[in-house]
Amino acid sequence: MGLSSAAAGEGPQLCVFDLRRGQQEGQELDKILFFHPTDCPILLQLSVIGLCEGIITFARIFSPDDDCEVIESEKHSHVFYQAEADIWMVLVVEKNKDIESTWRCGALQGILKEVHSLFTMFHGPIRTLLDRQPSAELARGHLRTFFTDYLSDFNAGKKIQLPTFRDCLKERGTVQMLTISREVALEVQSLTTVLGSCLGNVMCQSLVLFEDLLVSTTLPPDDTLNLYTYAILRLTPRALLSNATSWSYLRKGTSVHAGPTSSSSNGTASVERYRSRSRDTSPGGQNQMHHYFRPLQREKLYKGKDGFVAAGSTTSEVRGAVAWVPILWFQQAEDRMHLCVYQHKNITILLLIPASSLINGDDGIAHVKRHLLENASQNIVTLELKLSRGWGGENAYHVGGYRYLLVDPDRKVSRASPPGKVTTLSKDSLLSLNRLREEIDLEKSRAKRSDSCHDKDFEVCIRAKNNAWVIAKVTRGRELYMALEKAGTVKEHSLQTRTPK
């Protein structure tokens, strides 16, 4: 049938396109903003995006107020996300008989939402880039480098390995908080006050992380989530260690290939227009560290001798020669801010300086760094010491006998069983829980369409083939998912869902 336009055996395909562009015959290529894999033939790209555009148009006939989210065919799943008005992102994944490749469409859509949110934080909305340069070379250049670097995290050899059923007790797009005592909370408040005064009368914002957990934030929830996500990917001590030890697909002296290749000689000019050669212009045009500003490139970030995260090769003779203070755009806070990152052992400080208040440029940044070192160092050392003493390790939030995931979508917060404990679950239990989460996703979507103003409460308990119980409970918007193996030896009352502490 027509939904099998993707090439078999080529792995996942991710495309970004603008429905407002390429509406004239012969200009269809103009609507393509990004396509992965980049060496995919032009005709196949046009086929995939043409099919997606047709699905979107057809779905709007029956549901004009709701976006198309997923289309299932015999051989492929098409996961849709309208990132901005008429700008769509689509992930096409091939179905196969390998159980290990079983996925959940809600998790795949979470990838699309996450990469767009991160892109917007660094480069601004895609539509703004298109309006600034109607030829779209600017937008394509940023999308190509940013998305390619982001997808490198999913590389498994020459293929991309997307989240599977084994990740069903994880929730992308949420923050994991560290529970602290009242005594430590006072230390955090004291530190936050000092950080906020690093620029004198101008209030600076901050995030404080301990290992990979959020300790405090002064940003709104959406902005906190985006910056926290970036910190976990590239800035925490664990991420920086991974940056230094992992082999990057991009080696020094090479560049990311810009556009696709085509076996046809027709449309050569269009293909050349599709290839981006533009310089970087983030919100305000400030992020011009290199030809392209690449915040997700692993090899470029490391912790300097002064404790601040710097950019450049760790093997460079002159370390820290390139200042790394990018400008970020926070939509909820409606402000552009410089990001300055400082680390002490397991603590990571993300200090945000309003760009409009930083008049002296590099000298102003240097002043802020000196203020932090002179006035906040002791607070940071004391806080790190107290957090380390009270930290129970990676199993601190383990609940004996349960494997769970607790999500609060309104606050964008989650808590889950440690990954090491989740791996002890059998494949049958994980597959059953993954299927249950799919059903819950569908039920939530139906409830939202029928009554978007009120959350629907429900609870489901299923006994799996391996005699395990998988449980889902949604109440007042909060979601709890659990797997309980060896349930035959547990009394009936222990099967009632409860919120892990």
Query: Quick one: how far is CA 105 from the chain centroid?
Result: 16
Say if residue 18 is in the same domain as residue 156.
yes
Long-range CB contacts (within 8 A, 24+) of 467-474: 468/425, 468/426, 468/428, 468/429, 468/432, 469/495, 470/429, 470/432, 470/433, 470/436, 471/495, 471/497, 472/436, 472/437, 472/440, 473/497, 474/440, 474/444
Please give the distance of CA 296 from its chain centroid, rounded to a whole number: 11
Quote the pLDDT of residue 244. 66
Residue 494 within any structural domain of the chain: no
Antiparallel, parallel or unpaired: β 13-18 and 347-354:
unpaired
Is the pLDDT at 269 greater than 70, yes or no?
no
What is the domain count for the chain?
A: 3
User: Looking at the structure, do residues 376 and 423 belong to the same domain, yes or no?
Assistant: no
CB 151 within 8 A of CB 162: no
- Answer with the one of 391, 421, 449 that is the final residue of a domain: 391
What pLDDT is stored for residue 299 in this prediction? 73
Q: Is residue 379 part of a domain?
A: yes
Say if residue 153's pLDDT is above 90.
Answer: yes
d(CA 316, CA 319): 6
- For residue 407, the one-letter residue type is V
Tokens linked to 359 = 């008049």
Q: Report the run of H or E that residue 102 belongs to, with start and end.
A: none
Q: Does residue 251 lie in a domain region?
A: no
Is the domain of 202 the same as that of 330? yes
For the segment 466-487, what is each residue's pLDDT rounded down to a tens digit? 899 999 999 988 999 999 997 5
Full domain range(s) for residue 437: 403-485
Sheet containing 70-72, strands listed edge to edge, beginning at the edge strand earlier in sequence = 32-36, 13-18, 87-94, 76-84, 70-72
Q: Indicate whether 201 belongs to any domain.
A: yes
Q: Collapsing DSSP states into helix, strand and coil, what is residue 384?
A: helix
Q: Classify 398 as helix, strand or coil.
A: coil
| Token duo for residue 136 | 């779209």
Confidence band of 272 (pLDDT split at 50, 70, 90): very low
216 pLDDT more than 80: yes
| Token output for 453 | 């103003």
Mean pLDDT of all residues belonging to the chain: 84
Q: Within a domain: residue 501?
A: no
Contacts of 450 (CB under 8 A, 6+ apart): none
Domain termination site, one of 128, 160, 192 = 160
| Least trusted range by pLDDT, from 11-25, 230-244, 313-327, 470-484 | 313-327
Rounded percentage of the chain residues whose pLDDT exceeds 70:
82
Q: Does 288 have pLDDT greater than 50?
A: no
Question: Where do we find the tokens 């970030």?
Answer: 301
Which amino acid is present at 356? S
Verify that 18 and 125 share a domain, yes or no.
yes
pLDDT band at 379 (very low <50, low <70, confident <90, very high): very high
Gap between the Cα atoms of 324 and 311, Å rounded: 5
Residues 327, 194 share a domain: yes
Contact criterion met (CB below 8 Å) for 205 and 219 = yes
Contact between residue 420 and residue 395 where contact means Cβ atoms under 8 Å apart: yes
Q: What is the 3-state secondary structure (H, E, C) of 302-343?
A: EECCCCEEEECCCCCCCCCCECCCCEEEECCCCEEEEEEEEE
pLDDT value of position 488: 52
Q: Please check whether residues 68 and 119 belong to one and the same domain.
A: yes
Same structural domain for residues 210 and 132? no
For position 452, what pLDDT does the model report?
67
Q: What is the CATH classification number for the domain harbouring 25?
A: 3.30.450
Over residues 42-94, the pLDDT tens digits come to 999 999 999 999 999 999 999 888 899 999 988 899 999 999 999 999 999 99
pLDDT range class, residue 447, cuts 50, 70, 90: confident
Residue 230 domain-assigned?
A: yes
Q: 33 and 171: one domain?
A: no
501 pLDDT band, cuts 50/70/90, is very low
Buried b (16+ CB within 10 A) or exposed e, 351-387: bbbbbebbeeeeebbeebbebbeeebeebbeebbebb
pLDDT the model gives residue 10: 66
- pLDDT value at position 321? 44
Q: Is the pLDDT of residue 7 over 70?
A: no
Domain contains 270? no
Region of poorest pLDDT, from 217-226, 278-287, 303-312, 416-425: 278-287
* CATH code for the domain of 327: 3.40.1840.10
- 180 and 219 in a single domain? The answer is yes
Whether residue 184 is found in the same domain as residue 42: no
Question: Cis link prior to 354 (omega < 30° from 0)?
Answer: no
* 52 and 137 together in one domain: yes
> If pLDDT is split at 50, 70 and 90, which confidence band does 3 have?
low
Mean pLDDT of 154-179: 92
User: Which of 141, 160, 179 is where one domain is finished?
Assistant: 160
In a domain, 235, yes or no: yes
One domain, residues 332 and 216: yes
